[in-house]
């Protein structure tokens, strides 16, 4: 794919991925066929900041986990009062990374 297009994509969507994954993602996109550009552009990612807000406000009910698509863990968090409160606090720090990993998993479905 055209380097300019890839750089534009990275610039606008870089915040949705872990920083160490970005070079690898760029490499992968450069080698990708041009016909997939339209598809890649329409993929919607979850914003890590939004999930942090959900985690701070509704972490005790597992809402943050439901939002990023970890339904199973969300149910576990809901039933255990946010993991006796400990998991809630851990997730305040973990949820942004978890969201970025989820985004990477999502784009990977289109890359291969």
Point out which residues bind other proteins (CB under 8 A). 59-61, 69-73, 75-76, 78-86, 88, 102, 105-106, 109
Report the nearest approach of other proteins to the CB of residue 102 (Å): 7
Kindly tell me which of 1 and 61 has the beta carbon lying closer to other proteins. Answer: 61
2 Rama sector, left if φ>0, alpha if ψ -120 to 50, beta otherwise = beta
- Minimum CB–partner distance for residue 41 and other proteins (Å): 20
By the 8 A CB rule, do 32 and 40 touch? yes
Of 51 and 88, nearer to other proteins (C-beta) is: 88
Closer to other proteins by Cβ: residue 53 or 79: 79
Distances (CA, A) of 46 to 1, 55, 58: 24, 14, 17
> Which of 73, 74, 17 shows the shortest CA–CA distance to 43?
17
């Amino acid at each position: 794919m055209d380097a300019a297009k890839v750089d534009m994509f990275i610039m606008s969507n870089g915040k949705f991925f872990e920083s160490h994954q970005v070079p690898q993602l760029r490499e992968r996109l450069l080698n990708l066929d041009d016909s997939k550009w339209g598809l890649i552009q329409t993929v919607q990612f979850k914003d890590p900041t939004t999930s942090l807000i959900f985690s701070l406000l509704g972490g005790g009910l597992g809402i943050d986990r439901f939002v990023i698509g970890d339904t199973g863990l969300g149910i576990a968090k809901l039933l255990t009062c946010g993991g006796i409160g400990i998991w809630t606090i851990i997730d305040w720090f973990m949820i942004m990374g978890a969201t970025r990993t989820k985004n990477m998993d999502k784009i990977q479905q289109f890359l291969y």
